[in-house]
């Protein structure tokens, strides 16, 4: 940044400033706090200067945009070339209800689709399963069959738009339904673009939507990698997600560390299967949270890119530059939304979205202000989308590449987060790897500890949350409720009944038998069999039952 | 020495959001109570069985998925059926305002929404435990 003579001079001037100007200022007005902390309780110093970056040459730490180690972004021109994809996570009620919401969002300028599934679907149960009682369509859309998937994408050109699906334990089944839907419309699989989340490791750690134990689950994930490389080459077969780790209470540093540790675990499993790292690594995508602390969040994205590029190139020997790229989706922090004075959430979301864009994300979901209560209503979701459009078209932040690069504070934070991540990588390795750390409850306990500390800080007013523990008003918030209609549920149950009555029973049975055999044969790839079962009108629950029987069900270590 | 208050913290249904329930379990433990955490995906039957086995004074139910109107009242009615209606049931999570009177009518003693101070929740369980112990 500066040569050593300059640095000596800067240091001398700084000491002088401390002894004079600063000293007097502190005497006249002491600082508000003894210690200033980020959202993740990381201490922040008063001032950052070139001295903090001493011995860290920007040529190595930053590089050029679009070049190793990609700290400044994965594209040489970033948003000057193409804006990020505005992708709003949406889903509620029946496939019909959500299809209407998709069209509404597209008509308002959304540029990619993102499907939220309901709880039973996420756990591999059909809407008519006893476990699904009371849960239909409340947190997302129910998709129990290929027929539901057809309705969900009715009149939407899936050969053109890219679709992200937030589904994990049964991701292979849901993906097969999407592929089956495209196939029936004559859209070639090679043309399909999109993402399945399919990140089971963070389910054990944070989101908790697991079904099977870790080892068979990892095998299923690698089955999708292998199938995708051959058949659906433009599809991201995983979105390695820190989002949920953060939502569960992790700090920014833990989010970064656990997500990348998970990412490296998937790479190891892919290589162990015999896949060439450069064949599947370019299809690995990421998903990070964008929380309140602007600079800490931006630093997290930059550190993530740098670590991933280095590990992929140096540890895993990837030669293809596309394998080094950490491409990421971002979502503003749901957990930061308050039920109190909900309109104020629009401001929080704006700051968080700003962090994601300044951090160089490839796509973004902005939360709606009413999401502390429910799946958002139309007005709320439109404001959230408009927030992104204002950042893109009015704020000027998309005009230049990595506008904050070189900020002493930001670069120092980026380095600190990177160091914290490596400390966790070492710890996880000492414990025997990611899966061993999950079995021992280490990662879950680290997250729970951070969640508890954060709550105590709010309780003790060491941390102010506007409208919650300060600036409180006594008023009942006005949020227009969004309820799932009884008619939607009836329609869904009727459709399932019709499917079960009308399908070719022999074909259906044969496909499930084939899947069972594939599950038991460790050398087989399950994906073609799942696709076959979906085409034979087997439902999500039926397919997952076969797998539950073959693989068993995970029981998590209990801790708090 | 007074008997420790025993609380069962439970996650009924499929909802996997366990940040809140764990924070509260820890706050109750730090306040000197015996806390039993059931883990996720418990049916109302599982929860009532555990509450009776563990001889608890109160149950805290957490649900953020919207299934509370089905699951919470079922826990209360099963407790009554098993002659354990004296176990106090509290609810928490994302519960619309208009559902709260209905839940209370169904026998859920209190519903804690987002942003409720931990000390308020601790005080509730202390009082519930003391009343039952007396």
**In which band, very low, low, confident or very high, does the pLDDT at B132 lie, cut at 50, 70 and 90?**
confident
Closest alpha carbon to A328 in A100, A164, A465? A164
Say yes or no for a CB contact (<8 Å) between A558 and B22.
no
Nearest to B118 among A338, A455, A476 (CB): A455
Give A258-299 pLDDT, tens digit per residue: 999 999 999 999 999 999 999 999 999 999 999 999 999 999
Percent over 70 (pLDDT), chain A: 99
Provide the mean pLDDT of chain B.
94
**In which band, very low, low, confident or very high, does the pLDDT at B134 lie, cut at 50, 70 and 90?**
very low
pLDDT the model gives residue A4: 72
Of residues A96 and A375, more confidently modeled:
A96
Q: Is B14 on the interface with A (CB under 8 A)?
A: yes
Chain A CB contacts of B27 below 8 Å: 452, 455
Residues belonging to chain B: 134
Inter-residue contact A321 to A274 (CB < 8 Å): no
**In which band, very low, low, confident or very high, does the pLDDT at A463 lie, cut at 50, 70 and 90?**
very high
Q: Is the pLDDT of residue B1 over 70?
A: no
Closest alpha carbon to A203 in A461, A530, A460, A438? A438
Give A176-235 pLDDT, tens digit per residue: 999 999 999 999 999 999 999 999 999 999 999 999 999 999 999 999 999 999 999 999
Phi then psi for B90, rounded to 5 degrees?
A: -115, 150
Of the residues A116, A132, A133, A209, the best mutation for testing chain B's interface (the one with the most B CB atoms within 10 Å of its CB) is A133
A417: its two tokens: 């987060």
Q: Give the mean model confidence (pLDDT) for residues A76-89.
A: 95
Chain A CB contacts of B13 below 8 Å: 119, 133-135
Say yes or no for a CB contact (<8 Å) between A560 and B117.
no
Say yes or no for a CB contact (<8 Å) between B114 and A459.
no
Provide the mean pLDDT of chain A.
96
Give A16-53 pLDDT, tens digit per residue: 999 999 999 999 999 999 999 999 999 999 999 999 99
What gap in Å lies between CA A24 and CA A201, rounded to an integer?
A: 53
Q: Give the mean model confidence (pLDDT) for residues A88-106.
A: 94
Residue A472 to chain B, least CA–CA distance (Å): 11
Q: Is the pLDDT of residue A156 over 50?
A: yes
Q: Give the mean model confidence (pLDDT) for residues B65-92.
A: 95
Q: What is the DSSP secondary structure assignment for residue B2, as one 8-state letter?
A: P
Chain A CB contacts of B117 below 8 Å: 459, 469
Residue A452 to chain B, least CA–CA distance (Å): 5
Residues belonging to chain A: 560
Chain B CB contacts of A456 below 8 Å: 118
Q: Is the pLDDT of residue B133 over 90?
A: no
Max Cα distance, chain B (Å): 42
pLDDT the model gives residue A375: 82
Say yes or no for a CB contact (<8 Å) between A131 and B37.
no
CATH fit for domain B6-133, picks 3.40.50.1100, 3.40.50.280, 3.20.20.220, 3.30.950.10: 3.40.50.280
Say yes or no for a CB contact (<8 Å) between A339 and B14.
no
Specify the pairing of strand A43-44 against strand A36-37. antiparallel
Domain-wise residue ranges, chain A: 69-459
**In which band, very low, low, confident or very high, does the pLDDT at A2 lie, cut at 50, 70 and 90?**
low
Give B30-77 pLDDT, tens digit per residue: 999 999 999 999 999 999 999 999 999 999 999 998 889 999 999 999
What gap in Å lies between CA A466 and CA A473, rounded to an integer?
A: 10
Q: Give the mean model confidence (pLDDT) for residues A357-366.
A: 97
CB within 8 Å of chain A, chain B residues 63-102: 65-67, 69-71, 94, 96-98
Give A397-427 pLDDT, tens digit per residue: 999 999 999 999 999 999 999 999 999 999 9
Of the residues B7, B9, B23, B28, the best mutation for testing chain A's interface (the one with the most A CB atoms within 10 Å of its CB) is B23
Q: Is the pLDDT of residue A86 over 90?
A: yes
- List, in sequence order, every residue forming a beta bridge with A144; answer none if it has no partner: none
CA atoms lying within 13 Å on the CB side of residue A242: 32
CATH class, domain A69-459, is: alpha beta
pLDDT the model gives residue A5: 78
Chain A CB contacts of B41 below 8 Å: 123
A514: its two tokens: 């084939």
What gap in Å lies between CA A406 and CA B120, rounded to an integer?
A: 46
């Amino acid at each position: 940044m500066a040569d050593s003579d300059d640095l000596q001079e800067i240091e001398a001037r700084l000491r002088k400033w401390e002894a004079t100007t600063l000293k007097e200022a502190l005497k006249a007005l002491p600082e508000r706090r003894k210690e200033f902390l980020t959202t993740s309780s990381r201490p922040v110093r008063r001032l950052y200067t070139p001295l903090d970056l001493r011995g860290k040459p920007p040529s190595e730490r930053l590089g050029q945009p679009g070049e190793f180690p990609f700290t400044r972004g994965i594209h040489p021109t970033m948003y000057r070339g193409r804006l990020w994809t505005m992708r709003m996570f949406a889903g509620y009620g029946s496939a019909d209800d959500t299809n209407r919401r998709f069209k509404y969002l597209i008509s308002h300028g959304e540029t990619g689709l993102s499907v939220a599934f309901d709880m039973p679907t996420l756990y591999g149960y059909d809407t008519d399963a006893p476990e699904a009682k009371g849960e239909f369509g409340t947190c997302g859309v129910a998709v129990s069959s290929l027929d539901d998937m057809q309705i969900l994408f009715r009149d939407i050109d899936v050969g053109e738009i890219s679709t992200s699906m937030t589904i994990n334990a049964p991701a292979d089944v849901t993906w097969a339904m999407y592929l089956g839907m495209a196939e029936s419309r004559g859209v070639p699989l090679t043309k399909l673009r999109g993402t399945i989340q399919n990140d089971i490791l963070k389910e054990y750690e944070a989101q908790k939507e697991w079904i099977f134990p870790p080892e068979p689950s990892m095998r299923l994930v690698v089955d999708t990698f292998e199938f995708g490389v051959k058949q659906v080459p433009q599809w991201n077969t995983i979105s390695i997600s820190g989002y949920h780790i953060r939502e569960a209470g992790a700090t920014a540093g833990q989010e970064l560390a656990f997500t990348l540790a998970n990412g490296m675990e998937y790479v190891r499993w892919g290589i162990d299967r015999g896949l060439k790292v450069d064949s599947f690594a370019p299809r690995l995508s990421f998903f990070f949270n964008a929380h309140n602390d602007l600079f800490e969040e931006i630093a997290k994205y930059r550190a993530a890119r740098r670590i991933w590029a280095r590990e992929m190139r140096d540890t895993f020997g990837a030669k293809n530059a596309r394998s080094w790229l950490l491409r990421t989706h971002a979502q503003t922090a749901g957990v930061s939304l308050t039920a109190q004075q909900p309109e104020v959430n629009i401001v929080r979301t704006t700051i968080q979205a700003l962090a994601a864009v300044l951090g160089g994300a490839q796509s973004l979901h902005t939360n709606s202000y009413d999401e502390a209560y429910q799946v958002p209503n139309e007005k709320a979701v439109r404001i959230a989308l408009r927030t992104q459009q204002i950042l893109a078209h009015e704020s000027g932040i998309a005009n230049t590449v990595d506008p904050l690069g070189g900020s002493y504070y930001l670069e120092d934070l980026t380095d600190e987060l990177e160091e914290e991540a490596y400390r966790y990588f070492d710890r996880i390795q000492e414990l025997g790897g990611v899966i061993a750390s999950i079995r021992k409850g280490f990662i879950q306990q680290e997250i729970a500890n951070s969640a508890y500390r954060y709550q105590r800080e709010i309780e003790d007013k060491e941390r102010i949350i506007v409208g919650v523990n300060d600036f409180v008003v006594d008023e009942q918030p006005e949020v227009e409720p969004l309820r799932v209609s009884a008619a939607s549920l009836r329609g869904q149950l009727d459709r399932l009944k019709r499917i079960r009555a009308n399908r070719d029973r022999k074909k259906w049975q044969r496909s499930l038998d084939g899947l069972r055999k594939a599950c038991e044969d460790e050398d087989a790839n399950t994906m073609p069999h799942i696709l076959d079962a979906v085409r034979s009108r087997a439902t999500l629950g039926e397919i997952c039952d076969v797998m539950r029987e073959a693989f068993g069900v995970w029981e998590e270590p209990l801790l708090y | 020495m007074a008997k420790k208050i025993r609380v069962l913290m439970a996650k009924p249904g499929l909802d996997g959001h366990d940040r809140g329930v764990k924070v509260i379990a820890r706050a109750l433990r730090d306040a000197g109570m015996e806390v039993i955490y059931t883990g996720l995906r418990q049916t109302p039957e599982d929860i009532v069985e555990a509450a009776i086995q563990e001889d608890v004074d109160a149950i805290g139910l957490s649900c953020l998925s919207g299934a509370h109107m089905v699951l919470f009242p079922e826990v209360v009615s099963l407790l009554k059926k098993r002659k354990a209606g004296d176990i106090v049931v509290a609810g928490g999570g994302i519960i619309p305002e208009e559902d709260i009177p209905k839940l209370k009518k169904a026998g859920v003693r209190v519903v804690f929404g987002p942003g409720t101070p931990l000390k308020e929740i601790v005080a509730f369980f202390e009082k519930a435990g003391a009343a039952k112990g007396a």
